[in-house]
Structure 1
């Protein structure tokens, strides 16, 4: 007996806390991975917008020179 409880009750309580901690860690890791993915996709979108702007500037320059 540990703290006036059978040892298996103590182990169940310990496993409940351990499971909660592991779930919290997994949730944090998933959020971090998701944020990284969102930032990466956002950068791709910004790069595409910059390329389109550059193409428009080149086209405008060609139209003015003709």
Structure 2
């Protein structure tokens, strides 16, 4: 892909108006919301926060 194709791809991605999801706050989530995260990709940082919260609630080892 040449530079023109690359620029077209970037323009197309910008046109999608993708939004970054809000940061996860595991301590403010219900058990059900935390459980649903196992089917969702989260960043390594968010994963650490979620696991810490699950352990605090006695829902993970």
TM over 0.5, shorter chain:
no
Q: Write 1 or 2 for the structure with the bigger share of helix.
A: 1
Which structure would you say has the larger RCO, counting Cα contacts within 8 Å and 6 or more residues apart?
2
- TM-score w.r.t. the length of structure 1 is 0.24
- TM-score w.r.t. the length of structure 2 is 0.25
Determine which structure has more spread, i.e. the larger CA radius of gyration: 1
